[in-house]
Structure 1
Amino acid sequence: MSNQQRKWLYLIVLSLVWGSSFILMKKALISISPIQVAALRTFFAAIFILIVGYKSLQKIKKRHWKHVLVSALVGTFFPAFLFAYAIKGIDSSIASILNSLTPFNTFIIGALVFGFTFKKSQFTGILVGLIGTLVLIVKGADLNPDQNYWYALLPIISSVGYAFNVNIIKKHLHDLDGLTITVGHFLLVIIPVLIILGYTGFFTEFELNSETKPALLYIIILSVLGTAIAKVIFNDLVHISSPIFASSVTYLIPIVAVIWGIIDGEKLSIIQLLAGGIILFGVWLVNKAK
């Protein structure tokens, strides 16, 4: 399979997996606190990926570790907590839509901080996708007005972290494969999340019952598929494409998240369907630049 085929396959798989992660978080938050959902998600993902890929650690050289640490914090650790709290205050679909600011932030940060150059058509594609995202945000707010939009700041902050992460991987970790970077991430964050779980009383106060059992199942699925495996795929996608193309997956995520929202009883309008088409066109323009 060529890199061109692989990157589109990765983009589709990631949009499906990450688009489904928001509804999984929403369901888990019914009976488990946001901080524990985020910590458990990270912990289970760490256990899985370290068992599968621990041998990859030998590929990480001393010069890599500082970049792996920053990448782990802004791309894995903090976003897990920010999104868990965000979905407590706003709809999961709205949170996924706000995450679509990532390509725009990737473009700005890549150009200003990392010195990457981008083509005009890529910028056009970003703006088109952003327009589609804004339509989804406005229409979603109309259909679901009873939300605390201060929580909307949390996915926006996460999108900035993701933007830094993808540029760091492209510039400073380009000689490491996706699995190696992911293993490095979770090796560095597993101890902090264990401390957080202990501090919140999870090991002493948590009770396994009819409400928490399905919540744990949702978190395990989210951890293995939506965090560990998806991170490996995404890190590889960054290597075989551009930071802009890789981050454009966040334009497709809301489409999947909105579909899950419909299944879960949320509303969808014709305008939102049209906005989804605009987003897809924007992603096509970004890729056309290559």
Structure 2
Amino acid sequence: MAKTNLPLEFLLLALLATLWGASYTFIKIGVETIPPVTLIAARTLIAGTILLAVLRCRGIKLPRDAATWKRFLFQACLNSVVPFTLIAWAEQTIDAGVASILNAATPIFAFLLTALITRHEAASARKLVGVVAGMAGISLIIGVEAFGGLGDQLLPQLAVVFATVCYAGAAIFGKNFRGLDPIVPAAGSLLAGAVLLIPASLVIDQPWTLAPSAQSVIALVCLSVFSTALAFAIYFRLIQTLGSVGATAQAYLRVPVGVSIGVLFLGERLSDTIWIGLACVVIGVAAMTIPARRTRAAIAERG
């Protein structure tokens, strides 16, 4: 079995974090004049078509059996249809930086699902500390409004948290595509997602009546090409090389990216409480995803 090239995988992890960190700003600009369902329908269709073209250029065909496409469809619901739409809807009212911070909890939920359902990893004390710290961070970010029950931002923030749970489930379910070229499940799941979203867009938004701005269109193109097509190809590779929890480690790397872009280009500002919540989330996720020294050698030998 070939050894995993960890420096290369960590470089790809950082690239994935950057691509997905930028996606929150692209979405924020996109939903200014493009409704969420239509934005995400176009995102999945464009990205899936690009990856399909890449597969054809490489002489690789998508599977034709119904069982594999059912898995693509389920993966699409977990990894694009539901979370993409929820985040786009939420960013109509919340900042891109806040969405990035809340979404950073993906490894926390991936660990909880693994520990409570799949149980293929030991629930160490260090990881338990990470879960507690991460949950504390989420509570600090949405806590004031959650406890008051009257905050205008509570529902969209909870929508992003639910999207995060979906991402965690997608990372675990994505292991079922081991053995396939990483672009195959990326393209298949995106195209399956487009099949679900396009009819919804036609009914809900009637996209032929829209007049999107040039900025929103450019943001949609960047979101589709870089933060979806390229990002998904990298993501499915990392699931195979680093595992489901390891692949979600980019979540804490993308937080500074997403927050910084939102602050620099959108003029967003974060409260002191949100900064504290950000610190707790990053600490929590890092505690669960950075391998202990005694296990690093074993990880380096995995193929």
Q: When the two structures are superposed, what TM-score results if normalisation uses the length of structure 2? A: 0.81
Question: 1:249 corresponds to which residue?
Answer: 250
Q: CA deviation at 1:81?
A: 0.9
Q: CA deviation at 1:137?
A: 5.6
1:242 aligned counterpart, secondary structure: helix
**1: CA distance, partners of 2:277 / 2:210:** 42
What amino acid sits opposite 1:179 in the alignment? I
What amino acid sits opposite 1:188 in the alignment? A
Question: 1:97 corresponds to which residue?
Answer: 101
Aligned residues: 282
Question: 1:33 corresponds to which residue?
Answer: 35
Question: 1:288 corresponds to which residue?
Answer: 291
1:241 aligned counterpart, secondary structure: helix
Give runs of aligned pairs for residues 15-34 of structure 1, distance below 5 A: 15-34=17-36
**2: CA distance, partners of 1:8 / 1:278:** 23
Question: 2:230 corresponds to which residue?
Answer: 229
Q: Are the aligned partners of 1:32 and 1:215 in contact in 2 as well (CA < 8 Å)?
A: yes
Give runs of aligned pairs for residues 36-185 of structure 1, distance below 5 A: 36-54=38-56, 55-58=59-62, 63-120=67-124, 121-131=126-136, 147-170=152-175, 172-185=176-189
Q: CA deviation at 1:62?
A: 5.3
**2: CA distance, partners of 1:288 / 1:9:** 16
**2: CA distance, partners of 1:97 / 1:27:** 18
Q: Are the aligned partners of 1:99 and 1:155 in contact in 2 as well (CA < 8 Å)?
A: yes
Question: 2:5 corresponds to which residue?
Answer: 3
Q: CA deviation at 1:276?
A: 5.5
Question: 2:193 corresponds to which residue?
Answer: 189
**2: CA distance, partners of 1:105 / 1:35:** 25
Q: CA deviation at 1:134?
A: 5.0
Q: Are the aligned partners of 1:107 and 1:244 in contact in 2 as well (CA < 8 Å)?
A: yes
1:216 aligned counterpart, secondary structure: helix
Q: Are the aligned partners of 1:90 and 1:147 in contact in 2 as well (CA < 8 Å)?
A: no
Q: Are the aligned partners of 1:245 and 1:283 in contact in 2 as well (CA < 8 Å)?
A: no
Deviation string, structure 1 residues 146-173 (Cα, Å, up to 9, x no partner) = 8522111211111121111111112x22
Q: CA deviation at 1:222?
A: 0.3
2:165 aligned counterpart, secondary structure: helix
CA 1:130–1:140: 2 relative to 1, 3 Å = same
Question: 1:213 corresponds to which residue?
Answer: 214
**2: CA distance, partners of 1:270 / 1:149:** 18
Question: 2:300 corresponds to which residue?
Answer: none
Q: CA deviation at 1:102?
A: 1.5
1:5 aligned counterpart, secondary structure: helix
Deviation string, structure 1 residues 195-242 (Cα, Å, up to 9, x no partner) = 23332221x3233xxx62221110010011111110111111111113
Name stretches of at least 5 consecutive residues in structure 1 with no aligned partner: none
1:117 aligned counterpart, secondary structure: coil
C-alpha root-mean-square deviation of aligned residues, in Å? 2.9
**2: CA distance, partners of 1:28 / 1:184:** 24
Q: CA deviation at 1:192?
A: 2.7
Q: Are the aligned partners of 1:101 and 1:159 in contact in 2 as well (CA < 8 Å)?
A: yes
**2: CA distance, partners of 1:194 / 1:275:** 36
Q: Are the aligned partners of 1:133 and 1:251 in contact in 2 as well (CA < 8 Å)?
A: no
CA 1:247–1:12: 2 relative to 1, 3 Å = same
Q: Are the aligned partners of 2:186 and 2:233 in contact in 1 as well (CA < 8 Å)?
A: yes
CA 1:106–1:151: 2 relative to 1, 3 Å = same
What amino acid sits opposite 1:104 in the alignment? I
**2: CA distance, partners of 1:252 / 1:126:** 17
What amino acid sits opposite 2:195 in the alignment? I
Name stretches of at least 5 consecutive residues in structure 2 with no aligned partner: 296-303
Worse-matched range after superposition: 218-227 or 161-170? 161-170
Q: Are the aligned partners of 1:77 and 1:189 in contact in 2 as well (CA < 8 Å)?
A: yes
Q: When the two structures are superposed, what TM-score results if normalisation uses the length of structure 1? A: 0.84
Worse-matched range after superposition: 55-64 or 241-250? 55-64
